[in-house]
Amino acid sequence: MKTLQAIRGMNDILPVDSALWQYLEKTVADLLGGYGYQQIRLPIVESTELFKRSIGEVTDIVEKEMYTFADRNGDSLTLRPEGTAGCVRAMLEHGLLGGGVSHKVWYTGPMFRHERPQKGRYRQFHQIGVEAFNLAGPDIDAELIILSWRLWQKLGLAEAVTLELNSLGSSADRARYREALVDYLRARFDQLDEDSQRRLESNPLRVLDSKNADTQALLVEAPALADFLSDEAREHFAGLRALLDAAGVPYIINPRLVRGLDYYGLTVFEWVTDKLGAQGTVCAGGRYDILVEQMGGKPAPAVGFAMGMERLLLLIETLGKVPAELARQVDLYLVMLGDAAVSAGFQLAEQLRDALPGVRLVVHCGGGSFKSQFKKADKSGALYALILGEDEAAAQQIGLKPLRDRTEQENIPWQALPGRLKQLL
């Protein structure tokens, strides 16, 4: 019988890797909590119509990349390709945006896109998303960017990432710019790469994002979006830059930066790195003031970003920024021999867990000689072996043997063990 395997592009996260994932998740959760953001948990499956309405029907995501299926009722459902649409749907469904009350939320979990798997790009990938609602000024845009900047500092990545900023203006600004850009590119249609020719018909602004060198050369003389911004959009962008300057957050303005989703306007930004090859974007976001109304709600300003966990973890590993303590998953390994020792050992282990919250103590299960148990203790990576035989159990003592150096074994009374371990750990 053929061995079953994971679906291509959907990867298992094994125990040896989970500690780094947990480290990243906890670092993000602690940081966001400190800024007053609350977690929201969202379904993985949504109505297909949600993404058609929010992302746009004429986009690569909707046309080519979504995992869509009909359920038993004939309803079209989709595994979420991104998190913002579902978050907005939840805010509207539960009436959280009424009365202009502001909300700051975050979420995490798997997203799904049928793309060609490669390093840093997968069909099931994990994102952390951060969204703020009913706040219209550049101050909240700045807070999100400053927050992400602080995260890079905490993770040791600040020197490896660059912030790129742009303003897409209002819907009216983009409409006027789109017309000028289309006129310019139509006159040079034959010089565009095939993908850009298709985008010109469906989503002209995405041509600016082309990776084709010839198309990029054509764009040098193309109309600039900055020349089409309204006074209001210019003021918003200037306000954002002033706040970032005051906070000491370095950035560059990328006039060709656009986002792949139709709902963005005004501020857009990306954090990029040159350490991961082609998959250089580790965090991206912007303002999407039109999306709430587009999804059936009353107009409400909103801004957010998402970061790809796989890429962030890859960057952490590439730069050698994995915390040293993550290499050790076990502090203590209790080896026991004899019925009385096993019975006493389980009681002692629970007492230690009460006395030392957070201690990582493995109790040996499965029997075997002391020699075989010591091999497993050493292989576990534990700092110390706790040794309990019949004699130790009778004397209410325990052996404490260092496994990572040549220090002598100690024999310690049970009641003194928690205090001694606090000194050592």
Question: Tens digits of per-residue pLDDT, 251-276?
Answer: 999 988 887 667 889 999 999 999 99
| Helices 138-155 and 15-34, packing angle to 10 deg | 140
Range of the domain at 392: 328-424
Residue 209 in tokens: 């994002």
Closest CA to 335 of 268, 382, 404: 382
The last residue of one of the domains, among 297, 318, 339, is 318
pLDDT greater than 80 at residue 56: no
Is the same domain home to 106 and 143?
yes
Do 379 and 275 share a structural domain?
A: no
Residues 6+ apart with CB under 8 A from 298: 97, 98, 292
The answer to whether residue 186 sits within a structural domain is: no
The amino acid occupying position 330 is: V
Q: Is the pTM above the cut of 0.85? A: yes
pLDDT, tens digit (0-9, with 9 covering 90-100), for 178-187: 899 999 999 8
**pLDDT given at position 194:** 87
98, 121: one domain: yes
The DSSP-derived string for 307-330 is: EEHHHHHHHHHHTT---GGGG---
Same domain, 365 and 285: no
Q: Is residue 407 part of a domain?
A: yes
Query: Looking at residue 346, which CATH number applies to its domain?
Result: 3.40.50.800
> Token digits for 233?
């959009």
Q: Which CATH number fits the domain that encloses residue 151? A: 3.30.930.10
Q: Is the pLDDT of residue 58 over 70?
A: no
Helical spans, DSSP H, in 115-269? 138-155, 171-186, 194-202, 213-219, 231-247
Does residue 118 fall inside a structural domain?
yes
- In this predicted structure, the answer to whether residue 60 has a pLDDT above a threshold of 80 is no
Q: What is the pLDDT of residues 329-381, one digit of tens each?
A: 899 999 999 999 999 999 999 999 999 999 999 999 999 999 999 999 999 99
Last residue of a domain, one of 318, 350, 368: 318
Residue 139 region, left (φ>0) first, then alpha (ψ -120 to 50), else beta? Answer: alpha
Burial classification of residue 344, based on how many CB atoms lie within 10 Å of its CB (0-12 exposed, 13-18 middle, 19 or more buried) = buried
Statement to judge: residues 266 and 394 lie in one domain: no
**63-94 pLDDT tens trace:** 789 999 999 999 999 999 999 999 999 999 99
Give the count of domains, the chain. 2
Question: Residues 152, 247: one domain?
Answer: yes
Domain boundary among 318, 350, 378: 318
Percent above pLDDT 90 for the chain: 77
Report pLDDT digits (tens) over 2-51. 899 999 999 999 998 999 999 999 999 999 999 999 999 999 999 999 99
Q: For residue 232, how far is the Cα from the chain centroid?
A: 32
In terms of Cα–Cα distance, which of 251, 248, 245, 269 is closest to 167? Answer: 269
Instruction: Please indicate, yes or no, whether residues 292 and 235 belong to a single structural domain of this protein.
Output: yes
pLDDT in tens, 277-295: 877 999 999 999 999 999 9
pLDDT band for 107, please (50, 70, 90 cuts).
Answer: very high
Does the residue 211 lie in any domain?
no
Pair (89, 25) in one structural domain: yes
Alpha carbons 299 and 294: distance in angstroms, whole number: 8
149 within domain boundaries: yes
CA distance 95 to 248: 37
User: Does any domain span residue 1?
Assistant: no
| Assigned domain for 219 exists | no
